[in-house]
Amino acid sequence: MMEKQIGAAIREGRTALGIELGSTRIKAVLVDEEHNPIASGSYDWENQYVDGVWTYSIPDIWEGVRESYKNMAEVVKERYGETLTTIGAICFSAMMHGYMAFDKEGELLVPFRTWRNTMTEEASEKLTELFSFQIPQRWSIAHLYQAILNQEEHVQEIDYLVTLEGYVHWKLTGERVLGIGDCAGMFPVDCAAKDFHKRMIEQFDELVAPRQFPWKLRDIMPRVLTAGERAGTLTGEGARLLDASGNLKPGIPLCPPEGDAGTGMTATNSVARRTGNVSAGTSVFAMVVLEKELSRVYPEIDIVTTPAGDAVAMVHCNNCTSDLNAWVSLFEEFADATGMKIDRNTLFSTLYQKALEGDRDGGGMLSYGYLSGEHITHFEEGRPLFVRTPESRFNLANFMRVHLYTALGALKMGMDILFEEGVRLNVLLGHGGLFKTKGVGQRIMAAALGVPVSVMETAGEGGAWGAALLASYMLKKEEGESLDHYLAEKVFKDDGGITMEPDPEDEAGFQAFMERYRNGLSIERAAVDNLK
C-alpha cells in the first residue's frame, strides 16, 4: 500500500494493533488491511528479583504499555502525518503462566509471580498426581496451590486470578476473559469443550474444601475464549490508561488476550498439525501441534493449545540467551573502555557470525546459562557456569559457539522425548532474538533438533505481530473460517520463509556437545548446592 492509502486506513480504523509484554521488551505493532506492519514502538524493561521472587511491578507494567503505544503512535504521526484516534481491533499478549491474584477492589494481593519462578515443586507434584496430567511449576494453578500449602493469608481474599495479558485486558475493557492458549497455561483445558477441564476443576475444589475458602476455583478464573471471538471493547478509562495523550477514542473491539506461545504460533503460521514453532529469547520454548495424544504423562512436556483450542505439546525452558547476552555486554564494556563505540546490533551480529568459524563440537568446552532454575534438568535454582579443560580449544569462535549450543541444551532434551514418542515435524518455524542474526541461530537450531528450520521475513516482529494477526482474524474472518485457513490463505500465502536443512557435521558436533552437557550436570548441581 502507498503511504497515502495507509494514512486513509489509519484515519478510518482499518488497522489492527498487537501489544506484547515480553520478558525484556514490550512491543506494539500496528498492521494494515493486508497484515503488513506499518508502525511499531517498544519499551525495554527487566524483571526484578525481590525477596526471592522474580517479578514486575504494576507501575512498570503500565509505564511500559503506555510507552510502547506512545512510541508506535509517534511513528504513525511522523511517517503518515496522522494522529492515531481509532483502531480496527486490538489484541494483548504477554508471557504465559504466572500468578496475579486480586481482591474484590481489584488490588494485587501479592507481587506478581512470573513464569520464571521455580518455587512450586510440592504443589506441581501433588496436582500432577491428582489430575494424572502434567502441571508445571510455572502454571497459575501450581502457584495457587503452593500458596495454599504455605498457608498464605492472602488466599482467603482472592476474587480474581489471571495472567499478565489477562490483567491488562481486564483493566482496559472490564472483561474477565482470556484466550484458550494461555488458559491452558493456567489450568488444564478440555480441547473438545473449549473450556477448563470440568473434572479437574471439581477435583481441585474437593482437594481444598477442608480449607473453607469463600470461593470456588471456577469463580475466580477468567472466562475461556477462542480465537475469533469478541472479548469486549475499550472503555473510556481504558483508553486513558493506554494512551496518555487522550487522542485514542473508546469503543474499539478487542479479541481474546493470548499468551506469547499462542501469538508465536500465529506469527509463524504454525497452528496446523505436523507444524511447530520455537521461540528463542530470554527463555526458549517449542510448540508442536499434535496429531494424537502422547502415550503417557511426561514431567518435561506441557500440554497446552493453539489459540483455536487444538492440543499442543510444549517444551519450555526458563533459560536461553540471558547469559549469552551478559557475555556480549561484557565485550561491549571492554570496547567502551578502550574508546571504541560499537553499535550493539553490530556487536551481536559479529559475535554470532564468529561462532560459525568455531569447531563443530564447540572446542571441548562447556557452559550452562542457568540464570534461574530449569525444570527439564531438575534444577530449582541456577548458577551460570563456563567450564573448560586444559585441552579445550579456547578461542572466541568456540566460546561463542558453545554459548549458542548451551542456550538450546535443555530444549534438546525435551524435544528428544517427543521424537521418541513418534512425533514428526515437516518444519519448525523460528522466531525471537536468537534468529535476528541471519543464518546463525537458524543453523544452530537445525543442528540441535535435526529438523528443517524456517525463518520468515516477519519473524523479527514476533508475538506483537502475531497478536495483531489475531485481532485481524476476529475482524475479517469469513463465516466458519478456521484460524489455520485464514493464516495460510490470507496472511502467509506468498511467504514461505527461508528454510535451512540440518548440516550433518553440525548435527554430529552438537551431539558431541550434548554428551558433555548431560555429563556435566553434576557440576551445575555442585554450584547450586555450594554457591549460595
pLDDT > 80? residue 462: no
User: φ and ψ at 358, to 5 degrees?
Assistant: -75, 170
Q: What pairs with residue 385 in β-bridges?
A: 368
Q: What is the per-residue pLDDT across 224-263, written as a single tens digit (0 to 9) for each? A: 999 999 999 999 999 999 999 999 999 999 999 999 989 9
Q: What is the per-residue pLDDT across 271-297, written as a single tens digit (0 to 9) for each? A: 988 889 898 888 898 999 998 889 999
- Burial of 96 (C-beta count, 10 Å sphere; 0-12/13-18/19+): buried
Angle between helices 462-476 and 260-267 (to 10 degrees): 80
User: φ and ψ at 89, to 5 degrees?
Assistant: -165, 155
pLDDT of residue 375: 85
Band the pLDDT of 508: cuts 50, 70, 90.
very high
Average pLDDT over residues 149-176: 98
pLDDT > 80? residue 424: yes
DSSP string over 204-249 = HHHHHGGG--S--HHHHSPEEE-TTS---B--HHHHHHH-TTS-S-
Band the pLDDT of 426: cuts 50, 70, 90.
confident
DSSP secondary structure code for residue 501 in this structure = P
DSSP string over 95-162 = ----BEEE-TTS-BSS--B-TT----HHHHHHHHHHHTS---TTSHHHHHHHHHHTT-GGGGG-SEEE
The pairing of strands 366-368 and 385-387 is antiparallel
User: φ and ψ at 483, to 5 degrees?
Assistant: -65, -40
CA distance linking residue 485 with residue 477, whole number of Å: 10
pLDDT of residue 79: 96
133 and 124 Cβ atoms separated by less than 8 Å: no
pLDDT > 80? residue 27: yes
Q: Give the mean pLDDT of the chain.
A: 95
pLDDT of residue 229: 98
CA distance linking residue 151 with residue 450, whole number of Å: 46
Of 143, 134, 78, 163, the C-alpha closest to 414 is 134
Q: Which residues contact 410 (CB under 8 A, 6 or more apart)?
A: 284, 317, 319, 374, 376, 377
pLDDT > 90? residue 268: no
CA distance linking residue 20 with residue 289, whole number of Å: 22
Angle between helices 440-449 and 344-355 (to 10 degrees): 40
pLDDT > 60? residue 397: yes
CA distance linking residue 196 with residue 278, whole number of Å: 25
pLDDT > 80? residue 416: yes
Q: What pairs with residue 30 in β-bridges?
A: 17, 39
pLDDT of residue 461: 62
Q: What share of the chain is helix, strand, coil (3-state, %, to 5)?
A: 45, 20, 40
CA distance linking residue 264 with residue 166, whole number of Å: 17
Q: Which has more pLDDT, 351 or 436?
A: 351
DSSP secondary structure code for residue 12 in this structure = T
User: φ and ψ at 501, to 5 degrees?
Assistant: -80, 155
Average pLDDT over residues 340-355: 95
DSSP secondary structure code for residue 64 in this structure = H
pLDDT of residue 389: 97
Give the global pTM.
0.82
Band the pLDDT of 431: cuts 50, 70, 90.
confident
Band the pLDDT of 303: cuts 50, 70, 90.
very high
pLDDT of residue 496: 63
Band the pLDDT of 458: cuts 50, 70, 90.
low
